[in-house]
Each structure stands twice: as structure tokens, then as C-alpha cells.
């Protein structure tokens, strides 16, 4: 009988931790989005300076995943900036639309200037999102563990 209580208690605590981890999913996805956007910006700057592949080829060859990949695929097909992911704020969506509206516009020098200027802002946003995702994930897991433990104490 005791081992059933112990097993049930462990499952409840694990379920609480899982709920906490799932609660932080949007901030992890946002962090991943900005990490890929920063990598995309860096590769595009290198592309403008050296290789100069056509934009559709570059978009197709970029190893993106998740929402950023969907955004690149729709941009490659329509050549119009689409709405970004739902977990971004209204201002971040506007910045993302402005960013993608500049892809392939103008000569290489003006694009290098624009995307070079965006480098610092994207790096700051990437580090802020990574820090926020880490904090929310640890907070969520800790709260889930504590909630699970409190529930176990109440039922035993």
C-alpha cells in the first residue's frame, strides 16, 4: 500500500513539473524564433558580401525550423512580409514585417547597411529572449514541483 502512495506522489509531482515546463513553451518558442532570425541576419550579411546567391535559393537553403521556417516559406512564395508567430508582441510583429520587407530590395550596399544596423538590435533581442525563456522555464518547473508537492501533502 505504501508503494502505491509513493508512486502516485511521484506521478503527481512529475505532472506538476510538466505543467510548469509547458507553461514556459511560448517563451522558449520566442527565444528559438529570435535565435534563428539572428542567424538568418548573419548569413544574409555574409551572402550579400561574398556569395550573392539569388534570394529564393538562399531562403530555401537556410536551415530554419518551426515558425521561422513557415515565415521564410511564405515569404519565398509570396514575396510579401507575412504575419509572424502569435507569441510575438504587436511591435515585434511590425519589426519583423519591416525586416522582411527589406529583403531583396535595393542594391547590395544599401541592404548591407540596413541589415548590419539590425545586427545589434537582433543580438540584444536574442539574448533578452534567451534569458527570459530560461527564467520562465525554471520558474515554471519550480512552481510545478511545489504545486505537486503541496497537492501530495494535502492528499496524504
pLDDT in tens, 30-84: 999 999 999 999 999 888 878 777 888 888 888 888 888 888 888 878 776 666 7
Q: In terms of residue numbers, what domain contains 111?
A: 22-155
In a domain, 15, yes or no: no
What is the number of domains present in the chain?
1
Q: Residue 150: what pLDDT?
A: 94
Query: What confidence category does residue 5 fall into, taking pLDDT thresholds of 50, 70 and 90?
Result: confident
> What is the 8-class DSSP label of residue 47?
I
Residue 72: its pLDDT value, please?
A: 84
- The answer to whether residue 9 sits within a structural domain is no
Percentage, residues of the chain above pLDDT 90: 46
Look at residue 33 and tell me if it is in a domain.
yes
Mean pLDDT, all residues of the chain: 88
Enumerate residues 6+ apart whose C-beta is below 8 A from 118.
Answer: 41, 99
Residue 150 lies in a domain: yes
Across 113-138, average pLDDT: 93
Amino acid at each position: 500500500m505504501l508503494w502505491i502512495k509513493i508512486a502516485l506522489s511521484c506521478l503527481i509531482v512529475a505532472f506538476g513539473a510538466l505543467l510548469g515546463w509547458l507553461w514556459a513553451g511560448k517563451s522558449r518558442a520566442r527565444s528559438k524564433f529570435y535565435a534563428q532570425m539572428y542567424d538568418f541576419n548573419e548569413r544574409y550579411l555574409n551572402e550579400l558580401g561574398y556569395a550573392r546567391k539569388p534570394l529564393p535559393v538562399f531562403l530555401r537553403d537556410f536551415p530554419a525550423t518551426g515558425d521561422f521556417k513557415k515565415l521564410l516559406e511564405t515569404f519565398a512564395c509570396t514575396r510579401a512580409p507575412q504575419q509572424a508567430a502569435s507569441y510575438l508582441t504587436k511591435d515585434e510583429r511590425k519589426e519583423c514585417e519591416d525586416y522582411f520587407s527589406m529583403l531583396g530590395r535595393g542594391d547590395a550596399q544599401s541592404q548591407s547597411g540596413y541589415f548590419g544596423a539590425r545586427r545589434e538590435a537582433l543580438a540584444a533581442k536574442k539574448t533578452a529572449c534567451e534569458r527570459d525563456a530560461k527564467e520562465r522555464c525554471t520558474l515554471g518547473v519550480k512552481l510545478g514541483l511545489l504545486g505537486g508537492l503541496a497537492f501530495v501533502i494535502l492528499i496524504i
